[in-house]
């Protein structure tokens, strides 16, 4: 049986009833230009950018979102898109979509270290990797109580990805050579991206894998050069080897 919706009678104003004045829109503040959020979905990033002026959140860990919001409100010209594009220019996030990066930024944290402070030590449990935004770090191993330097990394380079890829403990110690600021991305955030967008997750994993292979090749070349130099030095100091 078809149900028909009955039209409600129009409400009429009785004669002599007072007319309520219509509230005029408040034009004391100029209209604000909308922030482009189409590429970032409707998650926490969009909600936080739409908060009214003067809103203050409860204090919490220093996240990358907090820094982005501070830049948006203090500089006026800074854009979230600029940070996304900067990340796309790094080896770890080359080819990754803006939407996937925004999803990770919502779950990222900013870590600061002063010169001489550790990011992590050898044999620590590894559940995150880092992208260095500012500063320089040194990487080394300890054998028989002696520090063996492996190399150093600068701005835009990542570290800590080997433990993440191999699901093992940290293979080396990373210490801040100068005052550093780094973006920390946890294994949990990457797993959530995997469930959301497998293709973008695979792109990040391939990028990290390429970085590991590149560094291993550089380390092998350096060790070979050291072995050749040591062999030449031994021949010069030991007459028996030159005969």
Pick the residue with more confidence: 10 or 199? Answer: 199
> CA dihedral in degrees (104, 109, 113, 119; nearest 10)?
-60
Confidence of residue 88 (pLDDT cuts 50, 70, 90): confident
Mean pLDDT to the nearest integer, 119-144: 93
Q: 19-38 burial string, b = 16+ CB within 10 Å, else e? A: eeeeeeeeeeeeeeeeeebe
Angle 64-74/80-88 helices, nearest 10 degrees? 130
Cβ neighbors of 52 (< 8 A, separation 6 or more) are none
CA dist., res. 208 & res. 211, Å (int):
5
Confidence (pLDDT) at 41? 41
User: How high does pLDDT run on average in the chain?
Assistant: 74
Residue 150, pLDDT > 50, answer: yes
Domain positions in the chain: 61-235
Residue 218, pLDDT > 70, answer: yes
Residues in the chain: 243
Q: Which helix (H) or strand (E) segment is 45 a member of?
A: helix 44-49
Sort residue 123 into left (φ over 0), alpha (ψ -120 to 50) or beta.
Answer: left
CA 175 to chain centroid = 19
For the chain, list the strands marked E by DSSP.
109-113, 118-120, 128-134, 137-143, 146-153, 158-159, 173-176, 180-186
List the single range of 41-45, 185-189, 223-227 with lowest mean pLDDT: 41-45
Phi, psi of 7 (to 5 degrees): -70, 135
Residue 198, pLDDT > 90, answer: yes
Give the count of alpha carbons within 13 A of 205, CB side only: 14
Task: Using alpha carbons, list the distances in angstroms from residue 143 to 111, 146, 160, 174, 220.
Answer: 28, 5, 20, 15, 18
Confidence (pLDDT) at 219? 79
Query: In terms of CATH, what superfamily is 61-235?
Result: Jelly Rolls (2.60.120.10)
């Amino acid at each position: 049986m078809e149900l028909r919706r009955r039209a409600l009678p129009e409400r009429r104003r009785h004669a002599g009833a007072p007319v309520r004045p219509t509230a005029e829109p408040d034009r004391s503040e100029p209209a604000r230009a909308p922030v482009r959020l189409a590429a970032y979905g409707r998650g926490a990033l969009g909600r936080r950018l739409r908060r009214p002026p003067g809103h203050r959140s409860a204090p919490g860990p220093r996240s990358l979102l907090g820094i982005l919001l501070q830049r948006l409100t203090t500089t006026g010209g800074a854009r979230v898109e600029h940070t996304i594009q900067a990340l796309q220019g790094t080896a770890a996030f080359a080819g990754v979509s803006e939407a996937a990066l925004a999803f990770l930024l919502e779950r990222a944290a900013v870590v600061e270290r002063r010169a001489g402070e550790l990011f992590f030590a050898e044999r620590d449990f590894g559940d995150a990797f880092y992208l260095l935004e500012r500063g320089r770090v040194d990487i080394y191993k300890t054998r028989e109580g002696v520090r063996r330097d492996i190399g150093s990394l600068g701005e835009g380079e990542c570290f800590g990805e080997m433990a993440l890829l191999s699901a093992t403990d940290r293979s080396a110690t990373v210490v801040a050579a100068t005052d550093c600021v780094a973006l920390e991305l946890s294994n949990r955030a990457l797993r959530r991206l995997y469930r959301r967008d497998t293709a973008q997750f695979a792109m990040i994993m391939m990028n990290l894998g390429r970085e590991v292979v590149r560094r291993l090749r550089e380390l092998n070349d350096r060790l070979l050069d050291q072995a050749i130099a040591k062999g030449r030095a031994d021949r010069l100091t030991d007459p028996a080897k030159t005969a």
